[in-house]
Amino acid sequence: MINWESNVFPGILGRTCDRPCEPACRRGRVEEKPVAICRLKRVAADNKGEVKSLMPRAPKEKNGKKIALIGGGPASLTVARDLAPLGYELHLFDEWHKGGGMMRTQIPAFRLPEEVLDEEVNYVLDMGVITHFNHYVSSMKEVLDQDYDAIFVGTGAPRGRDLKITGREEAAKNIHIGIEFLANVAFEHRDKIGRKVIILGGGNTAMDCCRTSRRLGGDDVKVVVRSPFKDMKASPWEIEDAMAEDIPILNNMPPKEFVVEDGKLKGVIFGKVRAEYDENGRRKLIPTGEPDEFIEADDVIIAIGQDNAFPWIERDLGIEFGKWDIPVLNETTFQSTNPKVFFGGDAAFGPENIITAAAHGHQAAISIHHFCQGLDLMDRPAPGANLVRQKMGIHEWMYDNDIAADLRYKVPHEDKVITLTNRKIEVELGFSVSTAFKEAQRCLNCDVQTVFTDSLCIECDACVDICPTSCITFTMNGEEEDLRQRLNAPASNLTQDLYVSDTLPTKRVMIKDEDVCLHCGLCAERCPTAAWDMQKYLYNVTKASKIL
């Protein structure tokens, strides 16, 4: 439930998240790889047991306010979850016959099984959300003309970019747009593809397209990107998984022409380039002069990006649009220039990811609630925060302070021979509970804070001597730049603030560099006066309603 409260879609995100958290994980500062946070969330979700009975329920008595949610993806579902317990009447519209949005249409079943998706989408829909599936909203004006008190737009970035080069029209039958291709496969409108397939593009959609093609009869599938391999946008682990399925990735080859013979696609001609970067890091692709290369193909999938598209929003409704047809929004409240209309997810600021959509949803829900109750939208409740002492005995803590030296564990995969035969067989098997426990022991406990009380310190140096990563220094105070040079270990990560105490009796100050602190608690164990204490910090993002 904690997982669900903070994540909304723990089982889904535990399999598909872009993992913006992992690059931030401090484990990566003391050794090679961060903790497998994402996959641990999956284990927690998979092993949770029955939670349905614990879910918050929408009150029978409604509060009289009606909200339209356009688009059935993660952003809209999050708004629905946060508002339903408050008694709002929620109407959710989606063009497909089930909710989930891009999580259903764009993420292949071998990465995200349908049961997992259905379960977590239904937790929200079962909170009394009135669904209008198979209903494409074609006019915002019509929605505004009805008696909704507020409208939330979570329609994603539904338009896949096309590539207008020679031969595109003639070979249209065998050239597909990535996200449309994935949606057609998801809804079983398509179950075959040619033997030879080329995927153009280097993002996660391209990876999903090539791996899906492998499962629909493509046995010679290639990904071709125009830029260098290292500049590919796809997550490293998704590239790894694609390559493990015998899919070569050719780089520095921009497509020039689709070759068509007798009205049938024969292949694609690619140029050869190399990348050069100027001082600002801007990339230029320069032709190398090598001869063009022709690669045969029965089908080509174009997965070179997505755009926002709001053809259904009339431009005379007071909803202003800015650059790239993105709506003008307040970045805190997600309110558009029409006060009744709110945006979130990819529809708000362009393509991002699921967890960002959920974050937008939480904020938009607060705004909608305040808007409907006549409260100031900018007067937002503070996030929840709590600090709790962890000491139980001289060498005992309420958290696991013994830091495991293990390297990151690999998630086991199902045999390729089996997974490639059926697109619905999940590739990742997930950690076993025992491996997950070991992986979790790699955590450096960022939530447990080292709290220093200067009035208790007798400057015995015990903490300095014991600290395994030399984080603590007692020295004369000074300017930050100068201090960073004078510490027991270099403090070169400027994004990490130094923790500086008040002046101590010897006129020195205690300085702690949090950068590679292991939170092992040894400073607090060796402190004779409890000037150091380990305290667990809990942070709760504000949500419109209390979920737990």
Partner 1 sequence: MSYIRPVFRHPELAKNAIGYSRKDYEGAISTLCAGCGHDSISGAIVQACYEMSIEPHKIAKVSGIGCSSKTPTYFLGNSHGFNSVHGRMPSVTTGAYMANRDLKYIGISGDGDTASIGMGQFVHAIRRNLNMMYIVMNNGCYGLTKGQESATADKGSLTKSGSETKYPGIDLVGLALELNATFVARSFSGDKTQLIPLIKAAMSHPGFALLDVLSPCVTFNNNKGSTKSYTYIRDYIEATGTVDFVPKEEEITVEYEEGKSTSVQLHDGSTIKLSKLNPNWNPTDKLSAFNRVQEAKMKGEVLTGLIYIDPESQDLHDVMGTVQTPLNTLREDQLNPGMEALERINQSFR
Comparing CB distances to partner 1, the nearer of 227 and 488 is 488
| Cα separation, 283 vs 277, whole angstroms | 5
CB of residue 502 vs partner 1: minimum separation in angstroms? 17
457-496: which residues touch partner 1 (CB under 8 A)? Answer: 458-462, 464-466, 468-471, 489-490, 492
Tell me the CA distances in angstroms from 520 to 73, 82, 293, 465, 517, one per residue in order.
41, 37, 57, 14, 8
Question: Which one, of 345, 441, 302, 315, lies nearest residue 69 by Cα?
Answer: 345
Comparing CB distances to partner 1, the nearer of 352 and 459 is 459
| Cα separation, 7 vs 2, whole angstroms | 8
Interface with partner 1, residue 405, by CB under 8 A: yes
Measured in whole angstroms, the distance separating CA 335 from the mean position of its chain's CA atoms is 22
CB of residue 516 vs partner 1: minimum separation in angstroms? 6
Interface with partner 1, residue 402, by CB under 8 A: yes
How many CA atoms, within 13 angstroms, populate the side-chain half-sphere of residue 448?
23
Could you tell me how many residues of this chain bind partner 1 (CB under 8 A)? 38
Amino acid at 227: S
Judge residue 221's burial from the number of C-beta atoms within 10 Å of its C-beta, 0-12 exposed, 13-18 middle, 19 or more buried. Answer: buried
Largest CA distance in the chain: 90
Query: What does the DSSP assignment read for 379-391?
Result: -PPPPEEEEEE-E
Contact pattern from residue 419 through residue 458 relative to partner 1, giving x for each residue in contact according to CB under 8 A and a dash for the rest? ---------------------------------------x
Interface with partner 1, residue 31, by CB under 8 A: yes
Q: Which residue in 396, 447, 497, 502 binds partner 1 (CB under 8 A)?
A: 396
CB of residue 490 vs partner 1: minimum separation in angstroms? 5
| Cα separation, 55 vs 47, whole angstroms | 17
Question: Which one, of 72, 68, 65, lies nearest residue 154 by Cα?
Answer: 72
Tell me the CA distances in angstroms from 177 to 87, 208, 229, 378, 435, one per residue in order.
41, 12, 22, 41, 39
Comparing CB distances to partner 1, the nearer of 306 and 473 is 473
| Cα separation, 305 vs 134, whole angstroms | 26
Comparing CB distances to partner 1, the nearer of 33 and 413 is 33
Comparing CB distances to partner 1, the nearer of 411 and 524 is 524
Q: Where do the H-state alpha helices sit in 126-177?
A: 140-145
CB of residue 394 vs partner 1: minimum separation in angstroms? 8
Q: Which residue in 529, 538, 539, 548 binds partner 1 (CB under 8 A)?
A: 529
Interface with partner 1, residue 182, by CB under 8 A: no
Comparing CB distances to partner 1, the nearer of 248 and 490 is 490
Contact pattern from residue 354 through residue 393 relative to partner 1, giving x for each residue in contact according to CB under 8 A and a dash for the rest? ----------------------------------------
Comparing CB distances to partner 1, the nearer of 387 and 404 is 404
Of 27-35, 48-56, 129-137, 232-240, the window that binds partner 1 (rule: CB under 8 A) is: 27-35
Comparing CB distances to partner 1, the nearer of 259 and 516 is 516
How many CA atoms, within 13 angstroms, populate the side-chain half-sphere of residue 116?
27
CB of residue 279 vs partner 1: minimum separation in angstroms? 27
Interface with partner 1, residue 536, by CB under 8 A: no
Interface with partner 1, residue 509, by CB under 8 A: no
Comparing CB distances to partner 1, the nearer of 292 and 461 is 461
- Reported for 253-256, long-range contacts at CB under 8 A and 24+ positions apart, including other chains, are 253/224, 253/225, 253/226, 253/293, 254/226, 254/285, 255/163, 255/165, 255/200, 255/224, 255/226, 256/165, 256/166, 256/292
Q: Residues interacting with partner 1, by CB under 8 A?
A: 29-31, 394-397, 401-403, 405, 458-462, 464-466, 468-471, 489-490, 492, 505-506, 516, 518, 520-522, 525-529
